Amino acid sequence: MSHDHDHDHSGHDHTHGHDHGGHEHGAHEHGAHEHHHHEPPAGATNLVTCPVMPGNQVDPAWAEQRGLFRDYQGSRYWFCCAECGPLFDADPARYAHAA
C-alpha cells in the first residue's frame, strides 16, 4: 500500500512539475507585479487608492495598461491587482461608495 501510494504520487508530481514549468514565467511576473503595486514607481504622481484594497496605491496609467479598471456610474476606478476587478464587479456599489 505504501509503495503504491508513493508510486502514484511520483507520477502525479512529474506531470504537475512539467505543467508548472510552463506556468513558471507567468508566476514570476505576477510576483514582480505584487511587489510593484505595494511600491509604486517614483515617477507616479497621480496615484489613486484601490477601492477594493484601500491600503494599496495605484498608478492609473499602469492599471489601464493592464485593464485593471472599471467605469461605474460615470466614475473610473483603478485596481491594484487582477483579483480586485471581479470583487468590484460582484458588489460595485459597496466599493464605489468606499472609494
**29-66: pLDDT as tens digits:** 444 444 444 555 556 678 999 999 999 999 999 999 99
**70-93: pLDDT as tens digits:** 999 999 999 999 999 999 999 999
Number of H helices, E strands in the chain: 4, 4
59 burial type by CB count under 10 A (0-12 exposed, 13-18 middle, 19+ buried): buried
Q: What is the pTM of this model?
A: 0.55
